[in-house]
Amino acid sequence: MKKGLTEIFEVDSVIKTTALCILTIGSYLIYKLYHFSSQINQHTGLRISKLFIYTAIFLFIISFVSLIYSLINFHDPTILRSSIGIHVISSVFDVTWIIMVRNRINLIMASNRGDKLWLNPFITSIFHVIYMQHKINQGLAKSAI
């Protein structure tokens, strides 16, 4: 089931996305990845495993909570050292998820390296869902013409 960009994604403010990512200390990033993944899973055959998604979300929550706990107990460095492993595992899942969503958006937009709508891996690694939303907005504006 192949659908166009306009049937899968919607325009959203890049400024709002940026502000929410900063204000929620990255939690909005996970929400936005979940939202993109849900849209992709509902409207295309380019599925992202729900087990993978829920595992990544669970690891993010555990990592986030352990980071807060470590910051509260900053005087005890052993707590911070003990939580590093979960942060690494969570980060691997998050990066993998970002790559999966990025690759699927590139396929949906039929973008190849050098195209205007192609999601550059380097820029995606820095700006994540902010950059993805920007490119989706560009693609939707192009489709509207």
The parent domain of residue 23 ranges over: 10-144
Do the domain assignments include residue 137? yes
Region 99-119: mean pLDDT is 94
CA distance 55 to 36: 16
pTM for the complete prediction? 0.89
Instruction: Assess if residue 4 is contained within a domain.
Output: no
pLDDT in tens, 11-48: 999 999 999 999 999 999 999 999 999 999 998 899 99
Cα-trace Rg, the chain: 17
Tokens of 19: 């502000």
User: Number of structural domains, the chain?
Assistant: 1
The per-residue pLDDT for 145 is: 66
Higher pLDDT, 106 or 80: 106
* pLDDT at residue 83, rounded to an integer: 83
Start-to-end CA distance of the chain, whole Å, equals 24
Residue at 1 is within a domain = no
Could you count the other beta carbons within 10 Å of the beta carbon of residue 76? 11
Under 8 Å between Cβ of 68 and 27: no
Residue where the block lists tokens 């699927």 = 104
Better-predicted residue by pLDDT, 19 or 81:
19
